[in-house]
Amino acid sequence: MSKLDTYFYQQSSETVLELMGSEQTRGLTSPEAEKRRKRFGFNELPRGNAFSPLKLFFSQFKDILIIILIIAATVSLGVSFLEKEGSITESLLIYLIVIAIAVVGFLNEYKAERTVEALRKLMSHSCRVRRDGSEFEIPVSELVPGDIVLLDEGKKIPADMRLLLANRLQVNEASLTGESVPVSKHTEPIANSHALGDQRNMLFSGTLVTTGNAEAVVVGTGTNTEIGKIAKLVNDVEQEDTPMQKKLNDLGKKLGLIIMGICVAVFVIIFFLDKESLTFELTHRLIFAFTAAVALAVAAIPEGLAFVVRISLALGARRMAAKKALVRKLSAVESLGSTDVVCSDKTGTLTRGEMTVRHIFVGNILYNLSGNGYGITGELYRDNKKVAASDDVRQLLEIGVLCNNARLKDGQILGDPTEGSLIVSAAKVNLHHDSLRRENPRIHEIPFNSERKMMSTLHRRNKDLLVAVKGAPDVMLERCSKILINGKVHSLAADDREMITKTMNLMAGQALRVLGFAYKTIAQKPADEKELENDLIFVGLQGMMDPPRSEVKAVIERVQTEAGMRVVMITGDNIETAKAVAREIGIQGEAMTGAELIKLSEEELREKVEHIGVYARVNPEDKIKIVRALQHHGHQVAMTGDGVNDAPAIKAADIGIAMGITGTDASKEAADMILLDDQFVTIIKAIEEGRGIYDNVRKFVNFLLSCNIAEVITVLFGILLHGNLVLTAAQLLFINIVTDGLPAIALGSDPASKNVMKHKPRHYQQAILTKRLWVEIVVFGILMSAALLLQYTLELQAQGVTMAVSSVFIGMVVYEFVRLVDIRTDYKIRWWSNPWLTVSIIASMLIQIVIIYTPPLAAIFNVTPIGPESWLTIAIGAIALFIIMKLLNPLFDLIGPENQEKTQFERGIT
C-alpha cells in the first residue's frame, strides 16, 4: 500500500484500489482492517489539551501585576517575622486580594469554556462500510485506509476518500474550502495538480453529501486527512499576548523596576545614612528600614489594579454577551478596541450562506427578485418598479420547481441549496412546490451529471406529458429550437440567442450562478429518453448567488469611514464571486488568488498586502501568511470565520472570532470570541464595547497610579523630613484596595463616549499611559503630596503625631477623589450616566469616616477622630487641587495628542 501523500485524484479508481490493497465488491477482510487500525490508529483528531479547571485557575497567576503583589505580600510577611510583635495582617490581606483577582478571572473564563462545550455539535458516530463482502455499520473512529464506504444524501463524510462510484453526487465543502455552492463529484482521474475545491473525484472528512449516493475507498484517516492537516496547523500556531496583556505586562515591569529602585534607595538611606535611625540598635534600625521600604512598596504597588482590570473586563464580557458576543478570554474584550484590520471569511460571515435567486430573464426582459435567504417573502421588479408575475415568469419558475429534488420545510432547505433557491424564488410569487408537484406528478428523471450539465424530469399534466429541463445556459441553447415570449412560442432566432448569451454573461459578471430553463409538451414517452431533451422551448434564465447579509454594507461603510479600519475578505471561493460580493458590500482594494499568492516571497507579500482587499481560492496556510504579513506592518488583526479552514488563521490573529451557529467546532475552539447570532454587525458592537473598555482601563489606571505616586512621594518625604512614617503599610493598603478600589471598579462600568467609534485605531494602540498622562500623574502627585505634607506638618505641631496621621489618612482619600473627578470630566461623559460611580465615592468616604470615628476600628488603624479645622483644611486643599489641574490642562495639551510618541501601528513591528 502506498504512502498516504500520494495524489490519489490523479489516479484511476482501479489504480487507487490496487494501491490501497482493497476490492470494491468485497472491501477489506476483518483481520486486515484490525491490522491497519493498529498501524494507522483510530480515525479521530487529537483534541489537544483537555480542558482543566485547575489549570485554568493557576493560569490566572501569570500576570506580572499578580506576581508583584505576591512578592509584596512575601516581603511584608518576612518583615512581620523580624518584629517581635509583628502582625501578618498586611501580608494576608495582599494574599487574599491575589486570590480574589484569580477567582474573578477564573469564573468568567470557566463559564465561557462551558458555553463552548455546549455549542459543540455532535459528529456522525457511525458509517456504512463493506468488509468481508458484506455491509456493516461501524463507528467512524474504526475506519481505516482501504475501507469501502457507502454514502447517501445527508451523510457527513467520515474520512478522506477517493470516489469509486458516484450517482448524482453533490457535496457541500463550504466548511473546508469556502465554496458556497455544493460541488458535483465524479470518478474520473484529474491530470494536473489542483486546489482542494477542484479535486472533484475526492471526498474530504467533515464535508456533507447534499445530493445523490456514492461508494468510495478511504485513503486518509485521522491526522492524515485534510482536516487533520488543518488541526496540525492550528496546534502549530503560537498565540501571542493580546495588546492589553502586552501593555499591562510592560507597565508592570516598569513599575517593578521603579518600586525595587525606590525600596532599595530608602532602605540604604535609613539603614546607613539617616542620622536619627543611626542612633537605634542594629536590629531596631534594620526593622525600621525594612518597615519603611515595605510601606513604600505598598504605596507604589497599585494592589487594586489587577483586580480592577479583571472586574472591568468581566463586566465588559457580560455586556458583550448581552449583545450576542461570547468572550472566551477576558483579554479579548479590550483587544477588539485596538483592532484596525478585520479579515473576514466570505461564506456564512459576510454572506448568508444560503443561495438566493437575484435575477430572472424571461421573454427578453430582465427582472430583479427581492428578498434574501430561504424566507418566502419577496417582490418582482422591472426597471426598479414592482410588477406582477407574468405567465412567462410563472412558467419559468414552475419548471424550476418541477425539475428539482429539493424541498422547503419550516424555512429550511432539504437538499441541494441551488435547487432550494429555485423553490424559494417560485414561492415568492405564490407558486408552492408541494401543490405543483401534486398537480404534475413525476414519472421519470434523467439526473444531472458533470458531463451533460443538465437535468430533465417528465411529468404527467392532464392528458399530456410535460418535459421540464434545467442546466448550463450554453448547453440549453444547443437543445432549444423555440422560445417562449409573451405567452407565445416562436422560433429561436439568432437575435434571441445573442440576447440570451449577452444576459447570461452579464449575470455571470456579477458572480451569479446562471441556469437556463426549457420545456416541451409531448403525447407519450419516447423509446429513447435522449429524445426528451431535444427540440426544447427556451423559457429563460435564473441567476442566483449566496447574497451578502443585509446589514453588512452599512456596517463596513461605518467601520471604514468613521472608525478608520479596513475590512479584508479572505475566502476559498472563486475570485469573480469574491470580487462581486466585495463590490456590493463596499470592500476596497485589489484582488488576488491563492495561486498568485503562493508565488510571492514573504517580502513580496508584505509589500502588496496593504493594497489587497480580496483574497480568493486560498488555503489555510495562505490565510496565516496574510495575517502575519498584516501584523508585520503593525496592524492589530481580527480574523472572523466559521469553517474548519478558518481555524488556523483565527488562532494566529490578534483576535479570533468564530460564528456560534454555523461555525465548526474547530473554528470555535481556536477563537477568542464567538458570535452567538452569526451577525457581522455584532463585531462592530463588540469593537465599540472594546474601545469603551480601553478608555475605562486607561481612566482607572490613570486614577490608581496618580494615587500611588502621590502616596510614594508623601511617604518618602515624610521619612526624610520627619524621620517617621506619615502612613503605615496597613493604612496605605486599606486606602489602595478599599477606598480607591471601589471607585476604580465603578469606572469600569462607565458607558462608552458617543464619539468612541470616530477615533482612529491608533488612538487605542498607544500605551495605556502616554507621555501626557505620565506628566499629569506626576504633577498631580507632587501637588497632592505637597498638600498632605503641609497638612501633616501643621497638625503635628498643633496636635501631635496621631492627629497628623489621621488628618493625612482622610485627606489622602479626599484628594484622590478629586483626581478621579478631574480624570472623568476630561471624557465629556454625563456624570449621572454611571450612578455606581457616585455610590462608590460616597461608600468609600463613609467607610473612612466610620473607621476614624469608631474607637475599635480607629485603634486597629492607629487613628483618631479629626476636628472641623482639619476638615476645613482638607476641603480647601481639594478645591485648590481641582482648580490648579484644570488650569494646567492647556499646558498638558501641548504634550498630546499631537506630540505623543509614535504608536506600535506607526512604528511597525520588525
Residue 183 three-state SS: strand
C-alpha to C-alpha distance for 394 and 455, rounded to whole angstroms: 20
* CA end-to-end span of the chain: 47
Q: How far apart are CA 633 and CA 631, in angstroms?
A: 5
Q: Report whether the peptide linkage leading into residue 897 is cis, meaning its omega lies within 30 degrees of zero.
A: yes
Cell numbers placing 817: 477623589
- Give dist(CA 763, CA 132) in Å, integer: 68
Residue type at 105 in one-letter notation: G
Active-site annotation holder among 147, 345, 546, 678: 345
The residues near 542 (Cβ < 8 Å, ≥ 6 apart) are 357, 359, 360, 361, 396, 400, 422, 425, 514, 515, 517
793-797 contacts, C-beta under 8 A, 24 or more apart: 793/721, 793/722, 794/873, 795/870, 796/722
What is the distance between the alpha carbons of residues 130 and 771, in angstroms, rounded to a whole number?
72
d(CA 762, CA 779): 26
**Whole-angstrom distance, CA of residue 259 vs CA of residue 249:** 15
Beta-ladder partners of 167: 213
* Whole-number Å distance between alpha carbons of 33 and 124: 20
Alpha helices (H) along 269-342: 275-278, 282-300, 303-322, 331-335
Number of residues written out for the chain? 910
CA distance 179 to 159: 19
Distances (CA, A) of 317 to 108, 241, 804: 8, 18, 44
For residue 826, indicate whether it is catalytic: no
- 800's torsion region: left (phi>0), alpha (psi -120 to 50) or beta? left
Active-site residue list: 345
